Chains A and B, each alone.
Chain A
Amino acid sequence: MLLFPEKREKTNRELIERIILEKYNQYYRLACGYARNREDACDIVQNGAYKALRSCAALEKPEYAETWVYRIMLNECFGHLRRPKALSYEEMAEDGTETPSAEDCYADVDLRRALDALPDSDRAVVILKYFEDRKLEEIAKLLDENVSTVKSRLYRSLKKLREILTGVKSADCRKAGTGR
């Protein structure tokens, strides 16, 4: 038992610090899946790290520290999308003032745009499953959902991606095709 918040603050802080400095590129990649450019992705990770360290005394079980930090990062990603100042890719491109950033130069541009069309949590499931090779159980833990919910998110996402990529939903497809 930790009787002193100062002590918990210290032990948790050092643990969380270590985790962040070890896994920052993982968070960064995740953020890139939500942000429009490298700077925004960086902001997301920075803000997440700041929040994690500031609230580290709230972490009750150090063994969940990694999951805990990851969740904070996910929330930052989701929150970022809702922030008004974040311009969408289309807006920037049509504006002509912003050139596509490095992250958007994927060979498979269509897939990248299809991913952007997925809801926050669904996109996280796809990223974690296919890019980070996480097990469904792990994803469920990170998103604080049960495994069957994650499964249905995954199924729904694949269906949606398939539809977008095969042009079943012509509206989405046209939007994606004229983005540049």
Chain B
Amino acid sequence: MIYNFSEVKDQNEQVEQRLQGMKEEYRRQEMSEAQLGQLREKMEAAKMKNRIEYGKRGIVRAAAAAAVLAGSFVLLPNTSASIAHAMEKIPVIGGIVEAVTFRNYSYKTERNMADVDVPQIQPTEIAGQTADMEVSAIPPMEIAGQETPAQAKLAHTAEKINEEIRDITDGLIAEFETNLKQEQGYQDISVKGEVLMTTPDYFTLKLACYQGAGSGYAWNYYYTIDLRTGERLALRDLFAEDADYITPISENIKGQMQAQMDADENVYFWLNDELEEWNFKAITDETSFYLNEKGNVVIGFNEGDVAPMYMGTVEFEIPAEVLEGIRK
């Protein structure tokens, strides 16, 4: 292959052009799914070694090993809510709604760990006895025992939410079991329900999920019911019609992010990042939220939403004064 370019400069350009020509082919090279799987395996192996070294999760590991030795795993599917209820004795929250663990799925081996609670929301009329303990907390209209429209609505809302929760947990468990059959990799899933401290007017169930396979990912769901109407509460329901709540909330969050970053070098949010498209710009109507004991709006983000994964799930309490005048 001889090129008859008299000028060295031209020859350099020729080389550069040929390099440019190769770029596309270079960029097309990608790992196959199987190769990515191998990479994830290797990463898990490194993490396992780290865990041993740093003594983290030592107890869990011991427990897992014990389970392997015993050749057993624990599986407690509670097919009936009443049984689960009897076992759990979760105190009544807010008087007319409570959460019970409907089903628990757990599995432990050296490589696989699952701990999934399937909480379900129950209006106390259905739950029965337990409500008596907290009679004083029940608003007068419920004591009368007449089913109000709000209560009928409440039963319906609860069932809707329960369905959603079952879909989420069933999906995770199914995925876990598929991975079990394939017998490769490490996996770790967990789902926990938690009733958040709420006002008498609102009930919020937080569903905290974690799925680890390759890399771990944590995310939360918040289900809030307006106990006065029996309806599921959306963020927009908290504000006067046509009021712009997105902007003040988003701006306040940005301010909090900056303040936290300024105060602690280990805190990092995607706010002024080079990668413009990753930066947090505004919340949406779908952004998770709940109301805390002060009645303030708390916005929740899943892992990786507004910050690097290592920051975990993050929450921002929006001070009441920020939303003054537009809250209903």
Is the beta-carbon distance between B45 and A50 smaller than 8 angstroms? yes
Q: Give residues 104-127 of A contacting B (CB, 8 Å).
A: 106-108, 110-112, 126-127
With an 8 A cutoff between CB atoms, is B25 at the interface?
yes
Interface string of B1-34 (1 = CB under 8 A from A): 1110100100110111011111101110111100
With an 8 A cutoff between CB atoms, is A2 at the interface?
yes
Among A9, A10, A11, A108, the residue within 8 A (CB) of B21 is A108
Is the beta-carbon distance between B215 and A161 smaller than 8 angstroms? no
Residue of A nearest to B25 (CB): A106
With an 8 A cutoff between CB atoms, is A146 at the interface?
no
Is the beta-carbon distance between B54 and A50 smaller than 8 angstroms? no
Report how many residues on chain B are interfacial, defined by Cβ distance under 8 Å. 47
Chain B residues positioned under 8 Å from A110 (CB to CB): 1
Is the beta-carbon distance between B36 and A10 smaller than 8 angstroms? no
Chain B residues positioned under 8 Å from A45 (CB to CB): 31, 39
With an 8 A cutoff between CB atoms, is A53 at the interface?
yes
Is the beta-carbon distance between B12 and A162 smaller than 8 angstroms? yes
Is the beta-carbon distance between B46 and A53 smaller than 8 angstroms? yes
Chain B residues positioned under 8 Å from A130 (CB to CB): 16, 19-20, 22-23
A54 to B54, CA, bound (A): 11
Among B49, B56, B215, B266, the residue within 8 A (CB) of A21 is B215
Chain B contact residues, majority secondary structure: helix
Report how many residues on chain A are interfacial, defined by Cβ distance under 8 Å. 50
A14 to B113, CA, bound (A): 19
A157 to chain B, nearest CB (A): 9
A173 to B1, CA, bound (A): 8
* Given A50-B46, A162-B12, A166-B2, A108 and B39 contact (CB-CB distance below 8 Å): no
Residue of B nearest to A7 (CB): B266
Q: Which of A23-31, A79-87, A89-97 contacts B (4 or more CB under 8 A)?
A: A23-31
Interchain Cβ contacts within 8 Å, total number: 134
Residue of A nearest to B46 (CB): A53
With an 8 A cutoff between CB atoms, is A77 at the interface?
no
Is the beta-carbon distance between A21 and B214 smaller than 8 angstroms? yes
Is the beta-carbon distance between A29 and B27 smaller than 8 angstroms? yes
A57 to B49, CA, bound (A): 13
Residue of A nearest to B3 (CB): A166
Is the beta-carbon distance between B54 and A28 smaller than 8 angstroms? no
A161 to B308, CA, bound (A): 41
A165 to B46, CA, bound (A): 43
Is the beta-carbon distance between A29 and B29 smaller than 8 angstroms? yes
A14 to B268, CA, bound (A): 13
* Given A29-B27, A166-B1, A42 and B35 contact (CB-CB distance below 8 Å): yes
Chain B residues positioned under 8 Å from A9 (CB to CB): 50, 54
A173 to B5, CA, bound (A): 17
Chain B residues positioned under 8 Å from A56 (CB to CB): 50
Is the beta-carbon distance between A24 and B36 smaller than 8 angstroms? yes
With an 8 A cutoff between CB atoms, is A179 at the interface?
no
Among A18, A42, A54, A162, the residue within 8 A (CB) of B50 is A54
Is the beta-carbon distance between B310 and A165 smaller than 8 angstroms? no
Residue of A nearest to B54 (CB): A6
A167 to B1, CA, bound (A): 7
Chain A interface (Cβ within 8 Å of chain B)? 2, 5-6, 9-15, 17-18, 20-21, 24-25, 28-29, 32-33, 38, 42, 45-47, 49-50, 53-54, 56, 62, 103, 106-108, 110-112, 126-127, 130-131, 158-159, 161-162, 165-167, 173
